Amino acid sequence: MDLESLRGEDVRLPAGRMMTADEGDGGAPPLWLSDAPAPFGAWGRIRAAHPRTGLWPLLLEPLDGEGADFRPWASGELFPGEASRLSDHDPAAVLAHWWEGCTSAGEEEDALSAGERLAVTAPYGAAWPGLAPGRAPAEDPDRLAEEHAEALLSFGAEARLGLVEAGSGAEALVVAGWSGPANHENDTARIAAVVADWERRFGARVFAVGFDTLRLSVAAPPATLEEALPVAAEHFAFCPDNVWQGHATDLVAYAGHLVGADAWTFWWD
What pLDDT, in 10s, does the model give residues 149-167?
A: 999 998 877 899 999 999 9
Listed residue (36, 73, 103, 28) closest to 212, CA to CA: 73
The pLDDT score that the predictor gives to residue 28 is 67
Radius of gyration of the chain (CA): 18
Average pLDDT over residues 216-222: 97
> What are the boundaries of each domain within the chain?
3-86+137-217+262-267
Contacts of 45 (CB under 8 A, 6+ apart): 10, 11
Q: For the segment 90-149, what is each residue's pLDDT rounded down to a tens digit?
A: 999 999 999 998 887 544 455 555 666 678 888 898 899 999 999 999 889 999 999 999
The pLDDT score that the predictor gives to residue 106 is 47
- Mean pLDDT score of the chain: 89
The pLDDT score that the predictor gives to residue 7 is 73
Q: For the segment 189-207, what is each residue's pLDDT rounded down to a tens digit?
A: 999 999 999 999 999 999 9
Q: Say if residue 226's pLDDT is above 70.
A: yes
The pLDDT score that the predictor gives to residue 9 is 56
Q: For the segment 228-255, what is each residue's pLDDT rounded down to a tens digit?
A: 999 999 999 999 999 888 777 789 999 9
- Contact by Cβ (8 Å): 241, 267: yes
The pLDDT score that the predictor gives to residue 249 is 79
Q: For the segment 62-106, what is each residue's pLDDT rounded down to a tens digit?
A: 998 666 789 999 988 999 888 899 999 999 999 999 999 888 754
Distance CA 14, CA 147 (A): 20
Average pLDDT over residues 12-16: 87
- Contact by Cβ (8 Å): 55, 189: no
Using pLDDT thresholds of 50, 70 and 90, give the confidence band for residue 10: confident
Distance CA 187, CA 145 (A): 25
- Ranking 38-47, 220-229, 230-239 by mean pLDDT, the lowest is 38-47
